[in-house]
Amino acid sequence: MAASGRNPGHYTYYTYTPPPRDTAKYWRLGFWVVAFPVIVGFGTVLQAGKSVMAYTRGVAAALGIGKDAQELSPPVPAYEWDGRREPAYVQYLFGQAWRDVRHTIAVALRRQQESFKAEGGRVLKRHVHPPEDDAADKRNPVLGVAQLVSIGLGALVAGLLLLVALAAQAVVLGLFWAGAIAFLYALRLADSGVLYVRRIRRITCPNQQCHERVPYPSYKCPGCDVLHHDVRPGKYGMIHRTCRCGRHMPTLLMLGSHRMKAVCPHCLKELEEGAGRTRELILPVFGSPQAGKTQLLAAVALATVSLLDRARGQAEPVDDYSRTWMRTVTDLRARGGSVTKTTKASQHAVSLRLSRNGSRVVLKMFDAAGETFQSAEGIRDLVYLRGGGTLLFVLDPLSVPALWKGLDEDRRSRLEPLRAVSEPLKVLEETVQTLHQIDIDTHKFRLAVAVSKSDLVAPELAAAHVGDDRSIREWLAGPLDQGLLVRSVEHEFGTARFFLTTATLADRTVHASVETLATWVLDGEGMRV
């Protein structure tokens, strides 16, 4: 204030002079009011773009692209089947894809966070924190706050964009996964359809002490021989799977899996070559001890080979055991010998692959010792009986009391060593009852009743005019007092036929009666000879 003059009352008067106005700060305030949202807006867009780019670089690194790649290696397969994992790489969509997604998101978010921290640190150092002694004062808190806000908003916008992208990625991957599942079941359905058309239901393990019915075999890798429990389309591959050794293995029979070594998953022994490609004809032979089962089985095998040869077909053993067995039987026929009696131990099946005019079937003949059929426990152990098909019941007429008592003393003394131990009715009843106890429907079986050793009772057969199925039934039900056996056969089995057979190889040929029996067995499976 300044004095304006004096008056008589000695009062002093002052005039107020305002200080000069600083209009620049108002201009700066107005500028920031207008510029702040513009800077935040552009900064948000810029930071969102930088964030997305950082995330994209992280995705590329996680997928193994670029100098700083951080690709995730697939898990190492199990060394061998451990009851849960296969010795094969998991198919991408069933394992590695989801692991890659998690790994990619983790790496990309880490790169994105590093980008946020670096950008925020730069802004704080440049515009907010006190400057270093040797640096010019470039602080601008308002601009720093605007950039920090834009970084935060940019992160939020980028997060929303990436959330939408991740949702789309999950949807696409889910669609691929669903498509893979649909393709998997389509492949399995197609393979099952091929097996159904070929009438291939299960594979019966021919190996000794096993004989389990196998829905699908295990296979050995052609490269390293390691066992794969189940090669069908699934988490380890669709069209093929990759073994831990790197070898590709087909997953379906129609794609060539039958060319690999098939293994029974129960006993872990090899199955026949090409197992599962051809339908099976299971021919179990049963009867009393010394009824002539093994001899008849050998004669049926030789008759089958002879019939196919004459019909311009082919019959060949499918495994080493069957090849050795056939060579032995063929040699015995050439020398006029006889086959040794079957031991009590469960035997390896004799398997022949039969083919004629495009029709193929694997004939598997199971010969259990006669002692097995004298107890229900022994019959239960014959798991191949669960497969249905054709049964061959060998009936020794010498073991029928009515016929045996009608022979003179001289013939009985000569035939006693050749006579079966048990009566045929007892063996049949024990077998049928046991099959019912283990819930096997006998009506699904065809039964061939082979009256063996017909050459030894030729006079009795001639006297009764026995020859065909009808006359055999009448002879058994009448003079031999086996009416209960005949009625039981007719009641229990869907189809049954009686045959007279002479299985001796003494004349170095197979008797025509055995060829008649073999023809009936094969015709029932569509193998016309």
- Residue-wise pLDDT tens digits, 158-203: 677 777 777 887 788 788 888 878 888 888 888 888 777 777 778 8
Dihedrals phi, psi of 82, to nearest 5 degrees: -115, 20
CA–CA separation, 12 and 349 (whole Å): 139
CA–CA separation, 456 and 292 (whole Å): 12
Q: Give the C-alpha distances (Å, rounded to integers) separating 500 from 65, 146, 431, 445, 512.
A: 80, 107, 22, 20, 10
What pLDDT shows up at residue 1? 46
CB 429, CB 485: distance < 8 Å: no
Sign of the alpha-carbon dihedral angle for 493, 496, 502, 503: negative
Which residues, at least 6 apart from 370, have a Cβ–Cβ distance to it below 8 Å? 287, 288, 289, 290, 291, 293, 342, 420, 421, 422, 427
State how far Cα 109 lies from the chain centre. 40
Give exposure, 386-416, as e/b (b: 16+ Cβ within 10 Å): bbbbbbbbbbbbbbbeebbeebeeeeeeeee
Alpha carbon distance, N-terminus to C-terminus of the chain: 138
Structure tokens at 275: 């197992």
CA–CA separation, 196 and 22 (whole Å): 98
CB 481, CB 402: distance < 8 Å: yes
What pLDDT shows up at residue 17? 65
Fold entry, domain 279-525? Rossmann fold (3.40.50)
Q: For 83-127, what is each residue's pLDDT tens digit?
A: 788 899 887 777 777 777 777 777 767 776 777 677 777 766 666
CB 146, CB 36: distance < 8 Å: yes
Strands (DSSP E) found in 328-405: 350-356, 359-367, 389-395
| In the chain, domain spans | 30-189, 200-277, 279-525
CB 123, CB 148: distance < 8 Å: yes
- Point out the residues of the chain with pLDDT beneath 50: 1-4, 133-137
CA–CA separation, 400 and 133 (whole Å): 122
CA–CA separation, 85 and 221 (whole Å): 15
What pLDDT shows up at residue 457? 93
CA–CA separation, 304 and 282 (whole Å): 14
Q: What is the pTM of this model?
A: 0.72
What pLDDT shows up at residue 469? 94
CA atoms within 13 A on the CB side of 506: 4
3-state secondary structure of 220: strand
Structure tokens at 42: 């552009």
Instruction: Name the pairing type of β-strands 314-317 and 445-451.
Output: unpaired
CB 255, CB 276: distance < 8 Å: no
Name the DSSP letter for residue 44. Answer: H
